[in-house]
Amino acid sequence: MINVDTNDLQKLYIAYFGRPGDPSGINYWLSRSNESITLREISNELSRQDEYTKYVAHEKSLEFKINKIYLNLFNRKADFDGLNYWIDMVNNKDYQISDIVYNLLYVKNKPYSIDINQEEKDINIIQNKTSASEIFTKQISKSITLINLYKPDSITPWLSGKSFIRVSNFLANITHEKVSYENVKDFISSLSDDSLNILTKSAIEIKGVSLSIPIYYLENRSLTKRVAKKVINITGGALDQSKNRTNIIALNNINLKIMKGERVALIGHNGSGKSSFLRLISGIYLPTSGKIKILVDVYPMLQKTFLTSSELSGIDACKAHYLLKNHTLKGFETFLNEIIEFSGLGSYISLPIKTYSEGMSARLIFSILTSSPHDCLAIDEGFGTGDADFCDRAEERMKQFMESAATLFLASHSEELLKQFCNRGIVFSHGSIAYDGPLDAALNYYHTHDYYRKNVIG
């Protein structure tokens, strides 16, 4: 296996883009290290990215491209011998820009003459730039706000974001003097004209938590145990056999800290532990072992069923929810009228819920649960919105509802939905956490790692 480290990756980002690597980009290349991808191959792939081809080097001459790489790395244009050598290699030896970058960064003995003092200065400058880039990427990875800030304005067409330009200018001014940790932190604080909402307060802290769900059955226990031992679980948690019962280990040794304001995508195969995790943080399940500290009010939207008797009317269901939330019926009439109008139930609101169709029930519960914003939402992919003619209104309302939440947990197989609302991704596998990081990197892990082959298609 090829060892690709963040230091080498930062040098490539500096060479091509003149900026530090973004957390999702760095994690993407690290996640591919198991494929035995080489630094030369990474260099080649970066040279084909839109940020380079359509923004940095678009319709530029070869001489410009070479000088730009030197400026990014060493704060100087290419020396006469170096420039002529690279141009000759491109014209006569089929060299690519990626080959030039790789040789400048990772080949010690230069194939052309260079002043020793100049080479020492070059090495010192790129080391200082790399060190500052490492600090920068690690610091912004701690804050979803900063991760969002350090992005392009547009990918198609590529438009570099204001923060990209400011960070590039910061790196361009790094010379032979090493930049301190505090200097980089001060610069990060100045990135936005507005005060940044850096996430410093915990919402949920989980340490060594496991969750076992007991399964009781009437069948012959010895026969069931013999069958269970021979079955390999393709989905779901592991089975724990004891003398009197079988336990499903829904979650196993979970360690997480979620900060207030984070928007977390829960990713994984069916039965991987996503729904169990949502029920755990919602207080529906209690951990079998470990400690969990919930510092926000988690509002669960896990299934389209009522936690009340189906004998009650729609009005009763609305009243129960309103009382639970507000502890008074003051203002209830206005609330009820809004529910009736949005759900489209009309006079059916007065009838018992047991007389509703499945679609009518879904419309009512959706209208009730999305009627007001909440500090923290836990939403499961199984939560439905009912009839087709209700979907357009429900989709728009759901977007507004999720955007209003300070902290969000969303379990879904829709990557489009996850990318729209989430920044962090947690990949579950058979009750354990297989990956935790920026959403792009988590989705990449889910698709390209052995995880996908073993758990989704295998």
In DSSP terms, 352 is beta-bridged to 313
CATH class of 260-455: alpha beta
pLDDT at 183 over 80: yes
**Letter string b/e over residues 47-83, b meaning 16 or more CB atoms within 10 A of that residue's CB:** beeebbeebbbeeeeeeebbbbbbebbbbebbbeebb
Enumerate the domain spans of the chain. 6-189, 260-455
User: Which tokens sit at 259?
Assistant: 């900060």
> Is residue 213 within 8 Å of residue 248, measured between CB atoms?
yes
Contact 30, 2 (CB under 8 A): no
**pTM for this predicted structure:** 0.53
Residues, the chain, total? 458
Confidence of residue 235 (pLDDT cuts 50, 70, 90): very low
**What's 307's DSSP letter?**
S
295-320 pLDDT, tens digit each: 988 888 775 555 567 888 999 989 98
Rg for the chain, CA atoms, rounded? 28
Specify the pLDDT at position 1.
Answer: 45
Q: Does position 423 have pLDDT exceeding 60, yes or no?
A: yes
Exposed/middle/buried for residue 344 (C-beta within 10 Å: 0-12, 13-18, 19+)? middle
- Answer yes or no: is pLDDT of 258 > 80: yes
Least confident interval from 166-180, 247-261, 264-278, 368-382: 368-382
Look at residue 263 in the predicted model and tell me its pLDDT. Answer: 86
DSSP string, 341-369: HHHT-GGGGGSBGGGS-HHHHHHHHHHHH
262-266, 395-399, 450-454: range with lowest mean pLDDT: 450-454
Instruction: For 47-84, write each residue's pLDDT tens digit.
Output: 999 899 988 888 899 999 999 999 999 999 999 999 99
- Residue 257, classed as helix, strand or coil, is strand
- Candidate from 123-127, 242-246, 279-283, 342-346 with smallest mean pLDDT: 242-246
